[in-house]
Chain A
């Protein structure tokens, strides 16, 4: 089974975000970059499927040279090789899906896995758009996955608000991973060392025939407004509770 995993590099979720000088992006100096956590679930699932059915796992990432670190990490977790679509350009979800789709078409695949969304822009667009670009079924927000290699079908449990849904689809297909699908492995030291020797193919947008004209553009980025400091009520418990109830009722108007 040949599985492609689309991996995005995003700022560490613990990073304190600052806005850059032109106000349309974040300041990237001093940021620690990680693999989008949902993509890690996707990669882990791909590795488990390979362990079960054999075949190949190829990680595909798009971005400037800093993305190499995410690629190395994917290889260290166990991907067999990688494709790096190298570009400095800021693309929108539609162009990213086109570029990834072009690589997928070149590579061929039985299954594409990626995260349900990236934790940087939270757009949750690329997986779905990629399926459309490739004209294959998509199952999003997957919590549980069964693959029947013989009949070439997948059964996936999807998370809905307060419910779950079982979906069946034929391969090839695009699936997007939700937290809970699995527990991603730690890259082991021997695999980290081996990752150095695994092949990484570099592609440009030009080679893939993908332009850079945006359909959607970020106009402005602002930080959430500072939360006002909390208030501490002092005094005897009975008084403070009474005061708290009064404030919740009269000021916050939640009671």
Chain B
């Protein structure tokens, strides 16, 4: 077999996929190869998300793909959904972030905690990409410890008045609706659907990022934003509600980062075959071979974690600490693969003409968001030892 196919699937996991899963993967892969990859470096440098991709992604059925058809989804399996994330992130982590937040955070929050009329009002429009959502949990002073949030939603006669600030919110300036998490009069965390045109709501794009430049990240300001009672996600209650959404998104990340790592290894494998130093191709040196094999080995481990997590998800037996361990290890492994790839490309490695530096810088975010490496370590530690060390 040729190098490219070996990299993609060294352990022949393809065997365990359904024909639909394969078709979904191939469709998204083709789309990303043609529409995203050739422009990703430029978009990343410009620091803009190409919004023209949104209707294309919607037409393909990417948004809310796992949801039932009556809500605009495709009823896709968890493995199929994971493969979408993998292929999007092969293009850019920012592209995958847009889709993750839309599907696994915003749409999932409505699907899991919303009323039937909220679901019918929001989900089909979001699946069609006519409405983009963001998910506001993190605050300037509450990240790893979201329970410390300060945003309040106080009861009024007709609904709630929400005040506070959110920071690092993906899609903030692209969104038409925000799922905002706030504490009510009793100090219980509840979820609210806030249309961005609500008086007192403002989103400000963070312009200083050296990571995830293709993704829009914002600060949200809520100055006494009045929302009707129907804005409340009625089934949301307590920190467990946003965390349930995060488990979905983290599951997607476990798969997504495989794509970024695959793109890095594929690029260096081609490079070392043709780049000559000291009279021979880099590929014919032991140190370089060892590095590429290390990268491959990490990728295989990542793929196995992702596949098994998918099977657990589909069997209905997935436990959040398992997702924590896989998110922690896959994000870190992908980052290591990208760093190695960057290094092997030498001077070329610092240019976005090649994928690895962009993936590497993006993956610094992925290692941090949706729970940092340390936070997931403590989540697994608590599960393993039944001792809370947070």
From B5, B60, B74, A193 is in contact (CB under 8 Å) with B74
Q: B residues within 8 A CB of A196?
A: 20
Q: A residues within 8 A CB of B75?
A: 193
Given the known A-B contacts A68-B19, A69-B19, A196-B20, are A186 and B30 also in contact in the complex, defined by CB atoms under 8 Å? yes
Q: A residues within 8 A CB of B31?
A: 186
- Chain A residue nearest to B30 in the complex (CB): A186
Task: Report Cα–Cα, A187/B28, bound state, in Å.
Answer: 9
Q: Are A30 and B1 in contact (CB under 8 A)?
A: yes
From B4, B5, B62, A189 is in contact (CB under 8 Å) with B62
From A16, A186, A193, B20 is in contact (CB under 8 Å) with A193
Q: Does residue A24 face the partner (Cβ distance < 8 Å to B)?
A: no
Task: Report Cα–Cα, A91/B59, bound state, in Å.
Answer: 39
Q: Are B74 and A190 in contact (CB under 8 A)?
A: yes
Q: Does residue B185 face the partner (Cβ distance < 8 Å to A)?
A: no
Q: A residues within 8 A CB of B30?
A: 186
Q: A residues within 8 A CB of B62?
A: 189
- Chain A residue nearest to B31 in the complex (CB): A186
Q: B residues within 8 A CB of A190?
A: 61, 69, 74
In the complex, what's the smallest C-beta–C-beta distance from B293 to chain A, in angstroms?
Answer: 20
In the complex, what's the smallest C-beta–C-beta distance from B304 to chain A, in angstroms?
Answer: 21
Q: A residues within 8 A CB of B76?
A: 189, 193
- Cβ < 8 Å to A, chain B residues 33-92: 59-62, 65, 69, 74-76, 80, 84
Q: Does residue B210 face the partner (Cβ distance < 8 Å to A)?
A: no
Q: Are A32 and B24 in contact (CB under 8 A)?
A: no
Q: B residues within 8 A CB of A68?
A: 19
Q: Does residue A188 face the partner (Cβ distance < 8 Å to B)?
A: yes
Q: Does residue B27 face the partner (Cβ distance < 8 Å to A)?
A: yes
Q: Are B23 and A16 in contact (CB under 8 A)?
A: no
Q: What count of chain A residues pass the 8 Å CB interface test?
A: 19
In the complex, what's the smallest C-beta–C-beta distance from B80 to chain A, in angstroms?
Answer: 8
Q: Per-residue CB proximity of A188-217 to B under 8 Å, as 1/0?
A: 111111011000000000000000000000
Q: Are B19 and A72 in contact (CB under 8 A)?
A: yes
Q: Does residue B2 face the partner (Cβ distance < 8 Å to A)?
A: yes
From A14, A32, A187, B27 is in contact (CB under 8 Å) with A187
In the complex, what's the smallest C-beta–C-beta distance from A232 to chain B, in angstroms?
Answer: 11
Task: Report Cα–Cα, A186/B22, bound state, in Å.
Answer: 14
From B1, B23, B60, B61, A73 is in contact (CB under 8 Å) with B23
Q: A residues within 8 A CB of B1?
A: 30
Q: Does residue A174 face the partner (Cβ distance < 8 Å to B)?
A: no
Task: Report Cα–Cα, A141/B60, bound state, in Å.
Answer: 30
In the complex, what's the smallest C-beta–C-beta distance from B151 to chain A, in angstroms?
Answer: 35
Given the known A-B contacts A68-B19, A69-B19, A186-B60, are A192 and B5 also in contact in the complex, defined by CB atoms under 8 Å? no
Q: Does residue A58 face the partner (Cβ distance < 8 Å to B)?
A: no
Q: Are B60 and A189 in contact (CB under 8 A)?
A: yes
Q: Does residue A79 face the partner (Cβ distance < 8 Å to B)?
A: no
In the complex, what's the smallest C-beta–C-beta distance from B16 to chain A, in angstroms?
Answer: 16
Q: B residues within 8 A CB of A193?
A: 20, 74-76
Q: Are B23 and A192 in contact (CB under 8 A)?
A: yes
Task: Report Cα–Cα, A72/B31, bound state, in Å.
Answer: 19
Q: Are B5 and A32 in contact (CB under 8 A)?
A: yes
Q: Are B27 and A16 in contact (CB under 8 A)?
A: no
Q: A residues within 8 A CB of B5?
A: 30, 32
Q: Are A192 and B2 in contact (CB under 8 A)?
A: no
Q: B residues within 8 A CB of A69?
A: 19, 22
Q: Does residue A3 face the partner (Cβ distance < 8 Å to B)?
A: no
In the complex, what's the smallest C-beta–C-beta distance from B144 to chain A, in angstroms?
Answer: 34
In the complex, what's the smallest C-beta–C-beta distance from B299 to chain A, in angstroms?
Answer: 19
Q: Are A188 and B60 in contact (CB under 8 A)?
A: yes
- Chain A residue nearest to B81 in the complex (CB): A189
Q: Does residue A76 face the partner (Cβ distance < 8 Å to B)?
A: yes
Q: B residues within 8 A CB of A32?
A: 5
Q: Are B2 and A189 in contact (CB under 8 A)?
A: no
- Cβ < 8 Å to A, chain B residues 133-162: none
Task: Report Cα–Cα, A123/B210, bound state, in Å.
Answer: 54
- Cβ < 8 Å to B, chain A residues 155-198: 186-193, 195-196
- Chain A residue nearest to B80 in the complex (CB): A189
Q: B residues within 8 A CB of A195?
A: 20, 23
In the complex, what's the smallest C-beta–C-beta distance from A73 to chain B, in angstroms?
Answer: 6
Task: Report Cα–Cα, A68/B22, bound state, in Å.
Answer: 13
Task: Report Cα–Cα, A190/B23, bound state, in Å.
Answer: 11
- Chain A residue nearest to B72 in the complex (CB): A190
Q: A residues within 8 A CB of B23?
A: 72-73, 76, 187, 192, 195
Task: Report Cα–Cα, A193/B60, bound state, in Å.
Answer: 12
Q: Are A188 and B19 in contact (CB under 8 A)?
A: no
Q: B residues within 8 A CB of A72?
A: 19-20, 23
- Chain A residue nearest to B1 in the complex (CB): A30
Q: B residues within 8 A CB of A30?
A: 1, 5
Given the known A-B contacts A30-B5, A193-B76, are A188 and B20 also in contact in the complex, defined by CB atoms under 8 Å? no
Q: Are A192 and B20 in contact (CB under 8 A)?
A: yes
In the complex, what's the smallest C-beta–C-beta distance from A76 to chain B, in angstroms?
Answer: 6
In the complex, what's the smallest C-beta–C-beta distance from A246 to chain B, in angstroms?
Answer: 26
Task: Report Cα–Cα, A72/B75, bound state, in Å.
Answer: 17
Taking Cβ atoms with an 8 Å cutoff, the residues of A that contact B are: 14, 16, 30, 32, 68-69, 72-73, 76, 186-193, 195-196
A sample of 20 inter-chain contacts (CB < 8 A) reads A14-B4, A16-B2, A30-B1, A72-B20, A72-B23, A186-B30, A186-B60, A187-B27, A188-B60, A189-B24, A189-B27, A189-B61, A190-B61, A190-B69, A190-B74, A192-B20, A192-B23, A192-B24, A192-B74, A193-B76
Top 5 A-B pairs, shortest CB-CB distance: A189-B61, A189-B74, A190-B74, A188-B61, A192-B23
